Every structure is written in structure tokens, then in C-alpha cells.
Amino acid sequence: MFWGFPPLRLFSISLATFPLDLTKTRLQMQGEAALARLGDGAVGSTPYRGMVRTALGIVQEEGFLKLWQGVTPAIYRHVVYSGGRMVTYEHLREVVFGKSEDKHYPLWKSVIGGMMAGVIGQFLANPTDLVKVQMQMEGKRRLEGKPLRFRGVHHAFAKILAEGGIRGLWAGWIPNIQRAALVNMGDLTTYDTVKHYLVLNTPLEDNISTHGLSSLCSGLVASILGTPADVIKSRIMNQPRDKQGRGLLYKSSTDCLIQAVQGEGFLSLYKGFLPSWLRMVKIGKLCFFLSFCFLCISITCTLQIFFIFSTDVWHGLACTRGPFILPFLSVYYRIVGFCFFFFSVTVSLASCFLS
């Protein structure tokens, strides 16, 4: 019931998986050889970190909530990308390709339609992706002593538009749509192929175990195909620019690819591979449950603080009524807060397993 509500599902998945996306972006920027041409001293001093150490470093050096820095444009991106992709895919399936005579939709049509829909959806969402990547790197700029580029999401859009015009909002769009096409191709083909193989050739049935294994395999293939384009896209989007909005490090996506391979080796194209793979695994219900519980805990803590503050004020205004009022109200509101939390967790569990 709740899980089928698209806005709540979209918000939950974005909120739950965003720390992985932030970690992936930070990993993709580590050891960027092209920065040496600008004399950036932070290049040699930046230690190489894995996924876990990068995430822990963000928490220790910037704060826990910085794991969600840039989540607002990420939600914008999901809305635009998912909406554009779904509308395009439905149009291609019903009007352009059509079903076969036996009312079956062949796999090759699904793959081509998915790739084309992904390309169009990603092209439309490129401005939000650009702002998301740049905001994700703001914390690192602060640690390096560099000035922050933006005050917020809307200021970021306005500044990019003022410096680079409409064209500036589509910086990095070529590797971005390449990544979308490759990810959709790998995801769709591998998921259906593995699922059908498991159902036909193993004792497994069409259940959550089969879908989980299929998701692991499809996410792996999609990450192998799409990570190099994702690295190129992120570096082009995050590169410093002149007053006209032109990049100072890379002339094109091909130039970025050549510099990365020559300066850092071929495996540099797979920086951030592990968090990218984990994000692509279809664990939507788990993500929904985790993020919903996180939201419930936050609301509960807020209510507790408010209620305790209210009881303190009440005690200050009505101290003549006796010392029993403060403990009574404090215990009462604590019970209300915890009941709200457990009710919310129960609802989220039910929505996960009954949807």
C-alpha cells in the first residue's frame, strides 16, 4: 500500500542510497591526475581510501549529515529522469515497437526501448546531475581550504546558468547518456536472462531469492559497463571552469578518458565501482524500510525535544501547582513518542512485506 505510492517510494530510495552515491563520487575524484597541471597541491596529499574508509572519513571530518550533502538535486534528478524514462518507454513500447502477435513483448525490444528511454531521461535530467555532483564535492573543497561554490541548490542552478548559459547546464551530457544506455542495457538483459535461467535450470522458484540473485548479477554487469562513463561524467562536471563556463582540465570526454588512463592507469576508470554496484542492486523494499525507520527516529527525537521543552516551560509557568507536574508530563510525552516510533516501524514493515 505505502510502498506502491510513487513519491514516497522515490523519496525513500533516494534518501537510503544517497550515502553510497556520495561515496562513489568522492572515490571517482581521488588522485585526479589532470589537477597536477593546475598546480593543485591537494592532489599529492589526498590519501587513497576504499568505500568504507571514505564514508567514515566524511563522517569524522565533515559530520554525519554530510553523507546527504546534495540529496536535494538528487531527488530532483530522480523525478526528472524516472518521469522522462517511463513516459518515453511506454510510448516506444505501445506506439513504436508494439507487441508481437502472441501479445508477448520480446527481450530485444525491451532492451532497445530501455536504452533509448534511459538516454532521453538522462539528457533531460543532466542539469540536476551536474548540480548534484558539484554539491557532493563541496565538503572536500572546504577541507582543502577552497572557497565554496554555492550557497544552496537554487543558487547553484542560477550561478551555472549565469556563467555558462543554457549550454553550461548540460556539461558532461555525452558520457552521462552513454552511461545511462550502458546501464539500462546491462541491467535489463542480465536480469531477465539470469532470472529465467534460475527458474528453468535450478530448484529455485520465482520468489525473492531468485529476484535477489538476478539483481546482484544485473547490477554487476551494469556497473562493469557503466562505471567508466560515470567516472568521466563526474570529472567533467566537477572540473574548474573559467568565467565563460569553459572547462580548464578537459576539452571533451575523450580527452578526459585519455588523461585518466595515461595518468592513473586503466583501473582508474573503475573508481567507485563497489558503491555503484551496491546502489544498482534492486533492494528497494529494504531501502524503503531503512529510510522510513530513519525518518521515524528523527521525528520521534524532534517530538521528544519539543515535548521536554514544553514541559520545562509549563513547569516554569505553573511551578506553584506542585512538583509532580513535570515528571508526569515528561513520562507521558515520552510514552507518546515511543508509541509513535513503534507504530511507524510496524507500518513500514507491513508495507514492505504485504505490498
Q: Report, as an integer, the average pLDDT of 210-214.
A: 84
> In this structure, how many other beta carbons lie within 10 angstroms of the beta carbon of residue 283?
19
Report how far residue 169's alpha carbon sits from residue 245's, in angstroms, rounded to the nearest whole number: 10
Q: What is the share, in percent, of the chain residues with pLDDT greater than 90?
A: 38
Q: Grid coordinates standing for 174?
A: 555525452
> How many residues are recorded in the chain?
355
pLDDT band at 211 (very low <50, low <70, confident <90, very high): confident
Residue pLDDT, tens place only, 55-72: 999 999 998 989 999 999
Model confidence at 134, pLDDT cuts 50, 70, 90, reads very high
End-to-end CA distance of the chain: 6
| Cα(131)–Cα(150) distance, integer angstroms | 10
CA dist 156 and 118 (Å) reads: 25
> Out of 112-116, 125-129, 159-163, 280-284, which region has the weakest mean confidence (pLDDT)?
280-284
Dist CA 290 CA 348 (whole Å): 9
Query: C-alpha grid cell for residue 145?
Result: 581550504
The one-letter code for the residue type at 186 is G
What is the pLDDT confidence band of residue 187, given thresholds at 50, 70 and 90?
confident
Does the pLDDT at position 266 exceed 90?
Answer: yes
239 confidence band (pLDDT: 50, 70, 90): very high
Give residue 263's identity as a one-letter amino acid code. G
What predicted TM-score, i.e. pTM, was given to this entire model? 0.76
pLDDT of residue 3: 42
Which backbone phi and psi does 221 adopt, to 5 degrees? -65, -45
Band (pLDDT 50/70/90 cuts) for residue 5 is very low
Q: Write the CB contacts of 72 (distance below 8 Å, at least 6 apart in sequence).
A: 153
Predicted pLDDT at 15: 76
Mean pLDDT over all residues of the chain?
79
The predicted-structure confidence for 108-123, as pLDDT tens digits, reads as follows 888 888 899 999 999 9
Residue 199 phi/psi, 5° resolution? -70, -40
Q: What mean pLDDT is predicted for residues 191-205?
A: 87
Percentage of residues in the chain having pLDDT higher than 70: 70
Q: What is the pLDDT of residue 160?
A: 92
**Of the candidates 85, 53, 96, the residue with the CA atom closest to the CA atom of residue 274:** 53
Select the more confidently predicted residue: 177 or 47: 177
DSSP category for residue 207:
S
> Looking up cell 515497437, which residue turns up?
97
Q: What is the pLDDT of residue 307?
A: 56
- The Cα 17–Cα 219 span in angstroms is 14
